[in-house]
Amino acid sequence: MTSVALLLTVLVPLSLAAAFAIRSWRPAIERVAAAAPIPAVWLAVVGGESSLELPSVLLGASWGLDPIGRAFLGFTAFSWLASGLFAQAYFARGSSPVSQPSGRRFHFFFLLTMAGNFGVVLAEDLGSFLLFFTLTSFASYGLITHDRKPASLHAGRIYIVMVVVGELLIFWGILLAAHEAESFRLDALAAGVAESPRKDWIVGSVLAGFGIKLGVMPFHFWLPLAHPAAPTPGSAVLSGAIIKTGLLGWLRFLPLGTAALPEWGMLCGGVGLATAMLGVLLGLPQRHPKAVLAYSSVSQMGLLAVAIGAAMLAPAAWGTIATVLLLYAAHHAVVKTALFLGVGVAAAPLPHVWQRRAVQGGLIVAAFSLAGLPLTSGFVAKSALKDAVAAAESWQGFWLEILPLTSVLTALLMLRYLGLLGLLETPRLLRSASDESCQPLAEDRSQPPSRDFGWPRTWGLLAPWGASALGTVLLFFIWRSQPVGSSKWFALDAVHLSSALWPILLAWALVIGVRVGPPVLRFGWLRGKVPAGDLAVPLATLTRVTSRAGRRQLLAVLAAATASGRRVARRVWRIRARRPWERAVRLLESDFSTGLALGLLALLLLILLAL
């Protein structure tokens, strides 16, 4: 039974995608596409350890479900299911710019990518892993360039270049690993790699190759371009599910737990920490909520790299760290799905005010879950991550102290996201976003409430989003009831609570301080100055510098940069019109979300005191 489910998990989305070849079937397939992850969900919930040998396929294939695979399948299937259901309502708009053929095209690539994504999780041999990893990577191109706009095509171009570079690195790494291990089975690889004299080559190329997929710096630049370019449900799976295949690659091919790799561990940890910090700093000036979320993904994946680094330093603690990684990945998948779908939900012309309030509340909880809000999955993930880092002896001082800083930064980034969606102030909610350049995707531009927005579509959007937003809270209780990992991670005592809450409160205070304080603190001049995909821009320019026109362009950019530098200096000294305390009072009056958040925190404390 489970072996049939293994096959169906991959073959159902794959054959649905293939059936797109028949023109007259397309509308029907589009309607059932959302049901394609059902075998995967069933397998993740019910299926125990199982395996399926397909000796005649590729290099001799074997698919199965081990504990790591099961965890991955769980959150991956969830993300695909929620996004697939969301897409049904998202693409069903009658007169909106999202037309029918566009929905068809989306669903074709959606199903194809889904098949690849599930396949990667189930693969237990090299051939299948490479096959499905490649399928996922190439099929996602169709999601990214979905609307065929110049910006999306540009994002797609940079994405596909990075995919090919990644494929080459991975091919090289895996080839060496298979040669050293003399086996095509994934479970035999780690042992072979650990004893290989060419260990460093393998570890290096696997880290870099899958690091591209994860968006670890300096390979992150494709991600903030690509993820926002896709339509909302596509962005949700890209950030929620697909980038985790990079993590899966690390888990499958690195000799974690069998060999100590101190140099690689330090490198991985250092790069991860830098990614976690810089990802936020580059994300803050973004003007598109999805770009902010993409940078947040970069930053969160950096934290995963830190945990991987810890595992390389302390192989003995691998058991714990593996659990930490899985918890963190699942948490991030659920929350990122909620946040990306939230971009679409917040923009939809929902007919009732209570629905908008619910969206606002849900998104705030989900956003702060990423920063470790208590009673959410983020709380568990953050405390678990601390344990993972502490496992590396050399990291116990400085690293443990700097970790909460990433939570502060994440909270800041999430406030930026909520601000861009207009969820931090009440009045903004009721009018459409004025700055069009903020939200280049027509379908995600917020629209005034409309009674014509019928209930099927309202709930079609709200239900999958709500499930993922609630998911972060539910995960906390599910994990606690299961006992997953250490009970310390769930401890709701004063010490843990305060250590989880202060980063969020500090970030909030910072934001209010910035709003009240002198305008230079708001870094308004910086907004929009960091283009999404930061490094990709100079890289693309670099190729143009060789031409004469390119050189002229470069000079113009330099001149503009000097001019804007002078403008900034002038602005620092400009005197403000309104007094700070007036602003503070206005802010407290108008800022619905501040009130909501304070209320939530008060409620939380009451619950905890009662427990």
Q: Considering beta carbons, is residue 130 or 461 the nearer one to other proteins?
A: 130
Q: Determine if 148 is a binding residue for other proteins (CB under 8 A).
A: yes
Distance CA 135, CA 510 (A): 44
Task: For 273, list phi and psi in degrees, rounded to 5.
Answer: -65, -45
Distance in Å, CB of 13 to other proteins, minimum: 16
Distance in Å, CB of 20 to other proteins, minimum: 11
Q: Determine if 592 is a binding residue for other proteins (CB under 8 A).
A: no
Q: Considering beta carbons, is residue 160 or 339 the nearer one to other proteins?
A: 160
- Segment 98 to 137, residues that bind other proteins, using CB under 8 A: 127, 130-131, 134
Distance in Å, CB of 246 to other proteins, minimum: 18
Angstrom distances, CA of residue 516 to CA of 314, 413, 582, 584: 46, 18, 9, 6
Q: Considering beta carbons, is residue 182 or 435 the nearer one to other proteins?
A: 182
Q: Determine if 153 is a binding residue for other proteins (CB under 8 A).
A: yes
- Compose the 196-225 pattern: x for residues touching other proteins by CB under 8 A, - for all others: ------------------------------
Interface with other proteins (CB under 8 A), residue from 7, 52, 93, 138? 138
Inter-residue contact 72 to 123 (CB < 8 Å): no
What does the block give as tokens for 589? 């009056």
Distance in Å, CB of 141 to other proteins, minimum: 9
Q: Considering beta carbons, is residue 55 or 427 the nearer one to other proteins?
A: 55
Interface with other proteins (CB under 8 A), residue from 172, 318, 525, 592? 172
Distance CA 452, CA 55 (A): 56
Distance in Å, CB of 14 to other proteins, minimum: 11
Q: Determine if 179 is a binding residue for other proteins (CB under 8 A).
A: yes
Q: Determine if 167 is a binding residue for other proteins (CB under 8 A).
A: yes
Q: Considering beta carbons, is residue 168 or 559 the nearer one to other proteins?
A: 168
Q: Determine if 94 is a binding residue for other proteins (CB under 8 A).
A: no
Q: At what angle do helices 318-347 and 244-253 cross, to 10 degrees?
A: 170
List of residues 6+ apart from 458 with CB closer than 8 A: 348, 350, 351, 355
Strands 61-65 and 50-54: antiparallel
Q: Considering beta carbons, is residue 180 or 444 the nearer one to other proteins?
A: 180
Inter-residue contact 472 to 376 (CB < 8 Å): yes
Q: Determine if 57 is a binding residue for other proteins (CB under 8 A).
A: yes
Q: Considering beta carbons, is residue 167 or 591 the nearer one to other proteins?
A: 167
Distance CA 9, CA 69 (A): 13
What does the block give as tokens for 91? 């693409």
Interface with other proteins (CB under 8 A), residue from 171, 318, 502, 525? 171
Q: Determine if 2 is a binding residue for other proteins (CB under 8 A).
A: no
Interface with other proteins (CB under 8 A), residue from 175, 277, 402, 537? 175
Q: Considering beta carbons, is residue 135 or 596 the nearer one to other proteins?
A: 135
Burial annotation 99-127 (CB, 10 A radius, 16+ → b, else e):
eeebbbbbbbbbbbbbbbbbbbbbbbbbb
Interface with other proteins (CB under 8 A), residue from 81, 178, 317, 507? 178
Q: Determine if 164 is a binding residue for other proteins (CB under 8 A).
A: yes
Amino acid at 46: V
Distance in Å, CB of 233 to other proteins, minimum: 20
What does the block give as tokens for 13? 């989305």
Among the residue ranges 65-73, 174-182, 210-218, 367-375, the one whose residues contact other proteins (CB under 8 A): 174-182
Distance in Å, CB of 112 to other proteins, minimum: 13
In 10 A of CB 401, how many CB atoms? 9
What does the block give as tokens for 499? 């250590």
Burial (Cβ within 10 Å: 0-12, 13-18, ≥19) of residue 69:
buried
Interface with other proteins (CB under 8 A), residue from 11, 58, 505, 535? 58
Among the residue ranges 86-94, 160-168, 254-262, 285-293, the one whose residues contact other proteins (CB under 8 A): 160-168
Distance in Å, CB of 552 to other proteins, minimum: 26
Burial annotation 55-68 (CB, 10 A radius, 16+ → b, else e):
eeeeeebbbbbbeb
Distance in Å, CB of 327 to other proteins, minimum: 31
**Helices (runs of H) and strands (runs of E) counted in the chain:** 25, 2
List of residues 6+ apart from 321 with CB closer than 8 A: 256, 307, 308, 310, 311, 314, 388, 391
Amino acid at 363: L
Q: Determine if 149 is a binding residue for other proteins (CB under 8 A).
A: no
What does the block give as tokens for 64? 């199965």
Question: Coil, helix or strand for 396?
Answer: coil
Of 424, 445, 433, the C-alpha closest to 343 is 445
Inter-residue contact 298 to 224 (CB < 8 Å): yes
Distance in Å, CB of 461 to other proteins, minimum: 28
- Segment 16 to 55, residues that bind other proteins, using CB under 8 A: 21, 55
Interface with other proteins (CB under 8 A), residue from 46, 59, 478, 545? 59
Residues that bind other proteins (CB under 8 A): 21, 55-60, 127, 130-131, 134, 138, 145, 148, 153, 156, 160, 164-165, 167-168, 171-172, 175-176, 178-179
